Structure 1
Amino acid sequence: MATVGGFLRVGEVYRYASSRDQHSPTLDGCPNYYYVTHSPGKKLALLEAGINGMAEVAGRRPAILIRSSPWKAGTEDTPWHDVFDLDHGHVRYFGDHKVTSTKPVGRTTGNAALLEAFVDHQGRTPEARVAAIPLLLFRSVSRNGKNKGHVEFCGLGIIERAERLVQRGGGEHTSFVNYVYDIALIDLCEEEDQVSWDWVDARRDENVTDQEALALAPRAWQEWVRRGNSALPRLRRQVARAKIVKVRDQRPQTSIDKAELDWVYKRFDGHKHAFEALASAVAARVLGAGGQNYREGWLTSRSGDGGTDFVGRLEIGSGLAGTSLVVLGQAKCVKPTSLISAEQIARVVARLRRGWIGVYVTTAAYSEKAQQEIVEDQYPIVLISGMELLRELRRMARDDFGDDLPACVEHQLSEREMAVTHRRPEEILLQ
């Protein structure tokens, strides 16, 4: 088998130009998508639709290329909101059934392709999984003020779950049924976080057997074929992070970062419950990453909160194989140049009971001493610094508000009503 393809690297932004030039390695300072995915004598690997299934070759579909367009999310035509959590190896992607679709649910081009892949991905034996369809995931990114023309490669995926749900769309906000897919992004460490296009080329060659093509697949994919979905927890992509983050690495690195974080601080300085509501929303996204089931509860009253500003609940597993955890949240809107001390965090930790966890959200940074104590004492608490808060708000703004950060923030305050109450935290387990 001749090797002719390039490599798709996770996190790399590629120029997806209308010229469809396959000969230039780079365009406008970015790697050229069509050059990297060039297959001599084969049709182009297009990303024109959200779900792009390659044509079958000898009964085998080489790959499905998925593209998410965050700038379309929340519109009448595309009311869904895809979730890409690359650090924890999880994507929640909505199918292509729309309020205007005339075909039965599951029969639209994109859903039909993904449901076909889902069946393959649930194969019970290596022989059933060897021909399984790889999912290559991309998302559109903005460059030079334009939403089109650039895509970021997000990884190689396997569908874990496919379920139907009801959505609303169109000018009349009509309800309709669509599919949503939970996709595991697999680890590519052995391949330096990239996928070789030679593997896809081999799957497009009718003279190459499934086993021969599998030899070119990433190691984790080969392991999944051998072991099945029970191996996914250890094959899932995970981005390792240091236990202790230096203060300088928690601070804004650019003038834009500093200006936006300062804006968040000034917007909420002196507005305690407003910042608590925002912190609760951000904590929900962070704790709900990777497909976890997190539910927001309420804000605590101004007096007597005892180190708790908001309450939530984290579900782990289901039925007899599941449990619920109380989440106590602390929100602290202070100058971004400030430091949160070990003593301040200890106030939240002191409220935690067995089986509870804490989350601390601030516009500032955490002292290294405070982090050290958490590591040494193994406190079950999640720390969200000012820059992490800003990153999450930017993701929310990108996904739902066309990168308009103020509009995203104001939406959280005007559209999300959270009760302020004296209720005991454990009452969240009864809801």
Structure 2
Amino acid sequence: MKLFELYRYSKPSPGPDVEFVEGYRNIFNATRWPDWPGLVDAGRVQLDHGIDSVTRIKAIDGQRRPAILIASKPHQAGSDWTPWHDELNPEVGHVRYYGDNKATLGPNPLDPPGNRSVMAEFPLHRSATRAERLRAAPLLFFESLVHEGKAKGFWRFIGFGIVERAQLTTQVDRQNRWFVNYVFDCALLGLEPESLTLPWEWIAARRDPTKTLEESLRLAPASWQAWVDQGERAVDRVRQRVSRFQSVSQGNQRPEPGTPADDALSVVVAHYKRLGPYQGVGEHRFEGLASEIVGSYLRDSGQYHPGWITKRAGDGGIDFVSRLDLGVGSGSLKLVVLGQAKCVSPGAAPASGLDLARTVSRLDRGWVGAFVTTGFFSEQAQREVQADRFPLLMLSARHVGEAVVKESALRGESVPSYIQSVDADYDVRLSSRAPIEVLGD
């Protein structure tokens, strides 16, 4: 399987003998088993669930699971039973994947077979012995993409790897039902020596009960062989990395049409936008919500403390001030966060480098900036921020919509009610204090 290649997963399936469907590689053809005697009636791989495990087999050297396929649908995040979003970062070799439990499945997060399969492999992935790592099943990751207006049937292969960490987390569904689930932090291993192609013969050998683990290992990617031989100390050295300018297209900076995030973004713009056909409360009041949106993303890195909203007269391009605390106690580090907010209509021009420069110019040593817009950033603006290594968090329309869906669910409120409750605090948060004062709060 070719890294980052788009595969067609159509139903009903045309079968493994058809190489292309509608001009795209048929995934059942790419994953067909070789014509080996040990693979007669081996079945086929599936991507029908979040976690699909290839059938566990009893081979000549013991039981093993050939592989586990993990499918993520980022364009549907927030649309079903959770506002949480899988974090797919194949360029840096990392995936954070939320497991398959739901409130409707019961209190035990190990009841779903997908979670159970991954947790069974977790001790092998973390093992200090080569024999156990040799038996471990690789995880194969796929990302669902909306392609040519179709939200189903297109999957992109983004890499393979192991579980580095598994922990329990509490989630809430759209009916405000709380439940416990697993979240898996996974390392993707590189395929550079294999020309970015996963050798399917390796998975086939692991599926063939007549072949030993050592035989199958000889067909594995070099990165997997290094991990089996050396364990954890080899992971960073063989981790998948893609060096390229990481600009985000205009389309990817907006929520997918028809998703909860897209609906939430429309509510945000309608609530705040006043110019043109809109009758909102005023674009300047978006600053309060922007501060909350920044917190939604920074809380994963530390303790986020909303400070105040700067008064409109003489704000110098800064709309809100907050603080990010890293660490705890006497070993903590406090950072000033300066934010700028822009509530624009869907057809507005992108935020340019000049727009971002106002925020960056106000940053002191050790401070970080945040720019939140209901629109998007131009490619040139993204290039300038990356080239100059500015400490600037850039949150576009997609981030706004997804954060509002998540935060409203956490509060147990509808999206409009959440926005109104945040906006109700706008006037009492206004202040003319100097940004440095937030460190003493």
Q: TM-score if structure 2 supplies the norm length?
A: 0.71
The question of 1:274 aligning with 2:268 is answered no
User: In structure 2, what is the Cα distance between the partners aligned to 1:115 and 1:333?
Assistant: 44
**Contact kept? 2:376, 2:396, Cα under 8 Å:** no
User: In structure 1, what is the Cα distance between the partners aligned to 2:78 and 2:350?
Assistant: 35
Quote the RMSD (CA, aligned, Å). Answer: 4.5
The question of 1:141 aligning with 2:145 is answered yes
1:65-91 per-residue CA deviation (whole Å, 9 max, x = no partner) reads: 112234654456556533323333332
Q: Which residue of 1 aligns with 2:340?
A: 330
Q: Which residue of 2 aligns with 1:94?
A: 98
Q: Which residue of 2 aligns with 1:297?
A: 306
Structure 1 position 216, deviation (Å): 2.5
1:232 aligns to what SS in structure 2? helix
- Percent of counterpart pairs with the same letter? 32
1:154-190 per-residue CA deviation (whole Å, 9 max, x = no partner) reads: 221321221112223475x332222121222233333
Give structure 2 stretches of 5+ with no counterpart.
35-39, 257-261, 276-281, 408-413
Count of equivalent residues? 398
Structure 1 position 135, deviation (Å): 0.7
Selected match of 1:60 from 57, 60, 64:
64
Selected match of 1:381 from 377, 387, 391:
391
Q: Which moved more, 1:367-376 or 1:220-229?
A: 367-376
- Write the letter of the residue equivalent to 1:309: D
- Write the letter of the residue equivalent to 2:109: V
User: In structure 2, what is the Cα distance between the partners aligned to 1:231 and 1:427?
Assistant: 45
The 3 A distance-change label for structure 1 pair 397 and 29 is farther
**Contact kept? 2:145, 2:156, Cα under 8 Å:** yes
Q: Which residue of 1 aligns with 2:186?
A: 183
**Contact kept? 2:99, 2:182, Cα under 8 Å:** yes
**Contact kept? 1:295, 1:314, Cα under 8 Å:** yes
- Write the letter of the residue equivalent to 2:337: V
User: In structure 1, what is the Cα distance between the partners aligned to 2:5 and 2:292?
Assistant: 28
User: In structure 2, what is the Cα distance between the partners aligned to 1:416 and 1:215?
Assistant: 58
Structure 1 position 136, deviation (Å): 0.8
Selected match of 1:127 from 126, 131, 145:
131
Structure 1 position 115, deviation (Å): 0.3
The 3 A distance-change label for structure 1 pair 427 and 128 is farther
1:163 aligns to what SS in structure 2? strand
Selected match of 1:345 from 329, 352, 357:
357
The 3 A distance-change label for structure 1 pair 345 and 93 is same
**Contact kept? 1:203, 1:213, Cα under 8 Å:** yes
Q: Which moved more, 1:30-39 or 1:180-189?
A: 180-189
User: In structure 2, what is the Cα distance between the partners aligned to 1:200 and 1:381?
Assistant: 42
2:11 aligns to what SS in structure 1? coil
Q: Which residue of 1 aligns with 2:411?
A: none
Q: Which residue of 2 aligns with 1:26?
A: 20
Structure 1 position 51, deviation (Å): 1.1
Structure 1 position 428, deviation (Å): 6.7
1:310-357 per-residue CA deviation (whole Å, 9 max, x = no partner) reads: 445556678898755443333456862674339x62653443233x33
1:252-294 per-residue CA deviation (whole Å, 9 max, x = no partner) reads: 89xx99xx9xx99998576134167348637854x68xx7557
Structure 1 position 213, deviation (Å): 2.0
Q: Which residue of 2 aligns with 1:309?
A: 319
Q: Which residue of 2 aligns with 1:43?
A: 43
Give structure 1 stretches of 5+ with no counterpart.
1-6, 401-407
- Matching of residues 151-230 of structure 1 within 5 Å: 151-169=155-173, 171=175, 173-230=176-233
User: In structure 2, what is the Cα distance between the partners aligned to 1:318 and 1:221?
Assistant: 37
User: In structure 2, what is the Cα distance between the partners aligned to 1:221 and 1:413?
Assistant: 48
**Contact kept? 1:66, 1:136, Cα under 8 Å:** yes
Selected match of 1:17 from 5, 11, 18:
11
- Write the letter of the residue equivalent to 2:153: G
The 3 A distance-change label for structure 1 pair 150 and 336 is same
User: In structure 2, what is the Cα distance between the partners aligned to 1:14 and 1:318?
Assistant: 48
User: In structure 1, what is the Cα distance between the partners aligned to 2:240 and 2:127?
Assistant: 21
1:93-143 per-residue CA deviation (whole Å, 9 max, x = no partner) reads: 222222232584324311110101211111113333222211111233334
User: In structure 2, what is the Cα distance between the partners aligned to 1:178 and 1:302?
Assistant: 43
User: In structure 2, what is the Cα distance between the partners aligned to 1:51 and 1:22?
Assistant: 21
The question of 1:112 aligning with 2:116 is answered yes
Q: Which residue of 2 aligns with 1:405?
A: none
